[in-house]
């Protein structure tokens, strides 16, 4: 039973992340000028996959988490704190970086893709296999801050 749920969740999240990738590629469509850009974007999307396989290879024992109420209750607070902390830290980090290098993240699309695909893949992997709530907090924080940065803070 549990396996079936996990499989469904995995399919759904993979579908969502694929959609996000495609959307991002089309979003930056006018920035893609040469074949080189296409190659770079494909490479940055592929970047996390071998690494995730390697991690999975090493940490194979921690398979199928026990997502009990007790575990949730215990990790609620640290996970929330980590989420807020990561959002604040990564937003200020990105602002600082843009300020010091006087370049926009949107102009360096490759880095946006790289951060995004790495975080989404680790998010899916963590959600499905390890269900580590603290890691979930950090990864959600990174994704959220990236979204906030792109939507609100870059004029």
101 binds other proteins (CB under 8 A): no
Instruction: Give me the sign of the Cα torsion angle 80, 85, 87, 88.
Output: positive
Per CB under 8 A, contacts with other proteins among 34-93 are 35-36, 39-40, 42-44, 46-47, 49-51, 53-54, 56-61
Indicate the residue among 48 and 137 with the shorter CB distance to other proteins: 48
- Exposure letters 45-78 (e unless 16+ CB within 10 A, then b): beebeeebeebeeeeeeeeebeeeeeeeeebeee
User: Residues 129, 133, 138, 143: which binds other proteins (CB under 8 A)?
Assistant: 129
Q: How many CB atoms are closer than 10 A to CB 37? A: 14
Footprint of other proteins (CB under 8 A): 3, 6-7, 10-11, 35-36, 39-40, 42-44, 46-47, 49-51, 53-54, 56-61, 110, 114, 128-129
């Amino acid at each position: 039973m549990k396996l079936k749920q996990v499989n469904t969740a995995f399919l759904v999240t993979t579908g969502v992340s694929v959609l996000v990738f495609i959307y991002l590629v089309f979003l930056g469509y006018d920035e893609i000028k040469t074949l080189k850009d296409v190659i770079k974007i494909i490479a940055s999307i592929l970047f996390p996959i071998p690494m995730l396989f390697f991690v999975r290879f090493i940490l194979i024992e921690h398979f199928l988490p026990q997502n009990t109420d007790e575990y949730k209750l215990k990790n609620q607070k640290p996970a929330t704190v980590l989420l807020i902390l990561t959002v604040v830290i990564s937003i200020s980090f990105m602002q600082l970086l843009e300020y010091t290098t006087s370049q926009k993240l949107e102009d360096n699309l490759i880095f946006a893709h790289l951060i995004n695909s790495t975080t989404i893949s680790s998010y899916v992997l963590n959600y499905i296999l390890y269900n580590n709530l603290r890691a979930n907090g950090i990864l959600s924080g990174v994704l959220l801050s990236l979204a906030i940065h792109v939507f609100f803070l870059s004029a």
